[in-house]
Amino acid sequence: MKELMYREALNHALLEEMRSDDTVFIMGEGIAERGGSFKVTVDLLKEFGSQRVIDTPISEASFTGAGVGAAIAGMKPVVEILFSDFTMLIMDQLVNQAAKFNFMTGGAGKVPMVLRTQGGVGNGLAAQHSQSLEAIFYHIPGLKLVMPSTPKDAKGLLKAAIRDDNPVIFLEHKLLYMNKGLVPDGDYIIELGKADVKKEGSDVTIIAWSNMLIRSLAAAEKLEEQGISVEVVDPRTLVPLDKETILESVRKTEHVVIVQEAIRRGGIGSDIASIIQEEAFDYLNAPIKIVAGLNTPVPFNLNLEKIVVPQEEDIISAVQNLVGVYQE
C-alpha cells in the first residue's frame, strides 16, 4: 500500500494500462506537455510519445468522435474532456454513435473507449463549469458510468474501464484530485458494478458517490458521536448499479438517505429510491430521504454556491430527522 493523491492514482492507472497494452492511447486538451489541467496525465508524454499522448485542438465533438472511430477500429482510446459541462458538445458521438454501435450491429461491433471528465462545484467556477451531469449519461442505454470517490477506487476502476469492451463515462470530481488515500501496490482491478460499503452501521444507510461520499463519511462520523450508527454505501459505478449491496444494507438498517450533488429533478437518487421501494418496500421503516442539489444552475457567489449543493450539515440533519422521527 502507498499513499497517493486521487490524481496520482489515475495517472498510475493510465501508466500501467498503457505499458501493458499498446492499443491504449489518450487524447485531450493540454494533456501532453502540460500534463492536463488537473495534472492527471503528467509525464505520460515522456514515456509514450506524441503518437499515444495526443494534444487536441478545441474540437470536442470531433476528437471524441475520433475516439469512437479508433475504438471501433481496434484501439482503446481514453478521451479527456476538461469539464463535464463541455460534454454537451459531444452528445451525438456519445449518445447516437458510441452508445448504440454494439447494439445496432447486433453485437458484432465494439466501442472500448473511456471518456474521462470531471464535474461538480469547485470554488466559484459558476454555471458553465460546475455542473453535475451524471443523470444525462445514466439515462442512455449502452453507456457505463463510473464515479470514483477515493484514490484506490479511482485507480482500480479506471483500469477496469479501460479493459471494458463498452464505452465508459468516467466522471471525476474537481474537488477530489488532491485527496490522499492508501492505494494497493501494482496491478489491481475493481470490477465495474460492485458497490463498496465504505463504513458499516446499523441505524441508517446513506447512499452517496463521488464527492458526496466523502461528505457523507464526515457526516456519519459526527452522527456516530451522537449515537446514530450510519452505514455508508458507495455504488462507485452507477451503470451497472450494484442493487444487491444497496438492498442488503437497506434490509439491515431500514432507513435510507440518498445524497447527490446533482440537482434533485430527474436525478439518479430518484431512480435508486424507486428501485429500493420496489424491491425492499417491506423493510423500510420511513420514507426514503433524498438530499440533493437545488434545481438551479450553480451561482458564482460563494455563499450562494454553498446553498445549492448538499453540505455536511444538510446530511447530518436529514439523518437526524429521519432517525429521530421514525425510530422509536
Partner 1 sequence: MYSKEFVTNVYRTLLTIRVFETECIKLYRQGFIRGYFHPYLGEEAIAVGVCAALTDKDYITSTHRGHGHCIANGANLDKMIAELLGKKDGYCKGLGGSMHIADTTKGNLGANGIVGAGIPIGVGAALATKIRKDDAVTVTFSSDGAANNGVFSEALNLAAAWDLPFILVLENNQYAVSTPIKESTREVELVKRGESLGVKSFRIDGNNVFEVYETTKEAIRICKEEKGPVLIEAVTFRHGGHHVNDPGLYLQKEELDYYMSKDPVEFARKYLIDDLGLNESEVEEIDSIVNKQIEDSIEFAKENGEMSSKEFLKFIENY
Ligand X SMILES: Cc1ncc(C[n+]2csc(CCOP(=O)(O)OP(=O)(O)O)c2C)c(N)n1
Task: Rank residues 60 and 261 by Cβ distance to ligand X and give the closer one.
Answer: 60
126: left (phi over 0), alpha (psi -120 to 50) or beta: left
DSSP 8-state symbol, 297: P
Cα(11)–Cα(308) distance, integer angstroms: 31
Burial status of residue 31 (CB atoms within 10 A of its CB: 0-12, 13-18, 19 or more) = buried
295 binds partner 1 (CB under 8 A): yes
Amino acid letter, 115: L
- The answer, yes or no, to whether the previous bond of 148 is cis (omega within 30 of 0) is no
Residue 58, burial from CB neighbour count under 10 angstroms (0-12, 13-18, 19+): exposed
**86 interacts with ligand X by CB under 6 A:** yes
User: In 3D, which of 148, 270, 267 has the Cα closest to residue 209?
Assistant: 148
Q: Is the dihedral of CA 265, 266, 272, 274 positive or negative?
A: positive
Stretch that binds ligand X, among 81-89, 115-123, 130-138, 148-156 (CB under 6 A): 81-89
In 3D space, the residue among 115, 126, 111 whose CA is nearest the CA of residue 89 turns out to be 115
Please report how close the Cβ of residue 58 comes to ligand X at its closest, in angstroms: 5
Indicate which residue of 12, 80, 129, 255 is catalytic. 129
Least separation in angstroms between CB 198 and partner 1: 31
Q: From the centroid of its chain, how far is CA 72? A: 24
Q: Which of 16, 29, 60, 254 is catalytic?
A: 60
129 part of the interface to partner 1, by CB under 8 A: yes
In 3D space, the residue among 147, 171, 185, 162 whose CA is nearest the CA of residue 9 turns out to be: 185
- Residue 58 interacts with ligand X (CB under 6 A): yes or no: yes
Q: Does 82 bind ligand X (CB under 6 A)?
A: yes
User: Minimum Å distance from CB 43 to partner 1?
Assistant: 16
C-alpha dihedral (108, 109, 112, 117), degrees to nearest 10: -130
Binding mask 4-43 for ligand X (x = CB under 6 A): -------------------------x--------------
The owner of cell 440518498 is: 258
Q: How far is the CB of 307 from partner 1 (least distance, A)?
A: 5
# binding residues, ligand X (CB under 6 A): 6
129 is catalytic: yes
Q: Is 128 in the site for partner 1 (CB under 8 A)?
A: yes
Question: Which CB atom, from 139 or from 264, has the smaller least distance to partner 1?
Answer: 264
Q: What amino acid occupies position 16?
A: E
122 is a contact residue toward partner 1 (CB under 8 A): yes
* Contacting residue, 1, 51, 58, 278, with partner 1 by CB under 8 A: 58
Q: How far is the CB of 294 from ligand X (least distance, A)?
A: 24
Question: Which residue in 74, 107, 123, 328 binds partner 1 (CB under 8 A)?
Answer: 123
Contacts (Cβ under 8 Å, ≥6 apart) of 110: 71, 72, 101, 102, 165, 166
- Residue selected from 15, 23, 39, 55 as contacting partner 1 according to rule CB under 8 A: 55
Q: Which residues are the active-site residues?
A: 60, 129
Applying CB under 6 A, which residues contact ligand X?
29, 58, 60, 82, 86, 89
Applying CB under 8 A, which residues contact partner 1?
29-30, 33-34, 55-62, 85-86, 89, 122-129, 294-297, 299-304, 307
